[in-house]
């Protein structure tokens, strides 16, 4: 793919106790705001903007994010990623992340909304060194449709690969295809409409921590269903099935708060979008 609708490259480094941009490049329908520092930790926060307002037929996006040693970065979007009708060719986004030893990345995009007849494929590849930390989350949300169908999109496919010191340690593949799948079936949405995923890689992860995370959250099957799984490396994944975006966001916010307090003795930044 040579013609990209939007391209973003961002490199960050730690300097004098603060994370700053080493290099920034963007073109097309991808832009990034100046960094925001929500507290005195020196952790930078960048907001990604899409001036086009949504992903259309055949759109192609590419990101490359690099963190040098000890850099701490939060990367988020300014608003939800809206996938509109794609009658001829699916929309596509690929992203590559490089985390050097001692760095920390929070990649927390706003929800992905699939509207009627939307087709979208996304691939994230994380290359991390031992001693670095990663927190990534995504939320899949159905968009409004004229007939009220909860699953009017045609295809939403998300792939995450994580390499620790060049060894593949996590492969996560979500493929929602309402045309050929029973979306309410076991192993798919099971009667819910929204799907949230979180992946955390952190050397301080212990089985006791996972038990405490699970016990700290209220469990109400009428609102959501939650699962936490330990990885083969220090870290874990979380899946949440729910019927509203706000429910998934609340679960992830609670988990994020506990982890930030446990590992960094601070509260996570409030990523205000208004």
Spans of all domains in the chain: 6-190
Query: Could you give the CA distance from residue 112 to residue 123 in angstroms, rounded to a whole number?
Result: 14
> Closest Cα to residue 158, out of 197, 115, 106?
197
Count of residues in the chain: 274
Along the 274 residues of the chain, how does pLDDT read in single tens digits? 468 999 999 999 999 999 999 999 999 999 999 999 998 899 999 999 988 789 999 999 999 999 999 999 999 999 999 999 999 999 999 999 999 999 999 999 999 999 999 999 999 999 999 999 999 999 999 999 888 888 999 999 999 999 999 999 999 999 999 999 999 999 899 999 999 999 999 999 999 999 999 998 888 888 999 999 999 999 999 999 999 999 999 999 999 999 999 888 777 776 665 4
Contact partners, residue 254, CB within 8 Å, separation at least 6: 216, 217
User: How, if at all, do strands 224-230 and 235-242 pair?
Assistant: antiparallel
Phi-psi region of 100 (alpha: psi -120 to 50; beta: other; left: phi over 0): beta
Asked if 60 contacts 8 with a C-beta cutoff of 8 angstroms, the reply is no
Residue 162, pLDDT score = 98
Residue 2 buriedness (CB in 10 A; 0-12 / 13-18 / 19+): exposed
Residue for token pair 């009220």: 148
> Closest Cα to residue 74, out of 39, 112, 30?
39
Query: Could you give the CA distance from residue 239 to residue 16 in angstroms, rounded to a whole number?
Result: 38
Residue for token pair 């990345």: 105
Residue 218, pLDDT score = 83
Looking at the DSSP bridge assignments, the partners of residue 112 are 81, 140
Q: What predicted TM-score, i.e. pTM, was given to this entire model?
A: 0.94
Rg (CA), the chain: 18
Residue 1, pLDDT score = 45
């Amino acid at each position: 793919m040579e013609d990209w609708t939007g391209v973003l490259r961002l490199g960050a480094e730690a300097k004098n106790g603060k994370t700053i941009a080493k290099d920034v490049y963007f073109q097309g329908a991808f832009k990034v705001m100046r960094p925001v520092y929500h507290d005195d930790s020196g952790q930078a926060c960048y907001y990604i903007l899409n001036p086009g307002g949504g992903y259309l037929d055949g759109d192609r996006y590419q990101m490359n994010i690099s963190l040098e040693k000890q850099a701490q970065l939060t990367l988020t979007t300014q608003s939800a990623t809206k996938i509109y009708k794609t009658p001829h060719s699916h929309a596509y986004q690929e992203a590559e992340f490089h985390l050097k030893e001692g760095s920390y990345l929070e990649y927390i995009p706003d929800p992905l909304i699939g509207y009627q007849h939307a087709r979208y494929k996304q691939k994230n590849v994380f290359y991390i060194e031992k001693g670095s930390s990663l927190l990534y989350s995504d939320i899949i949300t159905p968009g409004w449709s004229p007939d009220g169908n909860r699953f009017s999109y045609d295809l939403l496919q998300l792939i995450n690969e994580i390499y620790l010191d060049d060894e593949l340690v996590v492969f996560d593949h979500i493929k929602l295809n309402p045309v050929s799948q029973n979306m309410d079936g076991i192993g798919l949405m099971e009667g819910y409409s929204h799907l949230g995923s979180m992946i955390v890689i952190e050397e301080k992860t212990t089985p006791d921590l996972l038990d405490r995370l699970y016990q700290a959250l209220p469990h109400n099957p009428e609102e959501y269903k939650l699962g936490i799984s330990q990885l083969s490396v220090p870290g874990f994944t979380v899946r949440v099935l729910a019927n509203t975006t706000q429910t998934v966001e609340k679960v992830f916010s609670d988990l994020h708060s506990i982890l930030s307090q446990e590992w960094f003795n601070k509260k996570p930044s409030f990523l205000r979008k208004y």
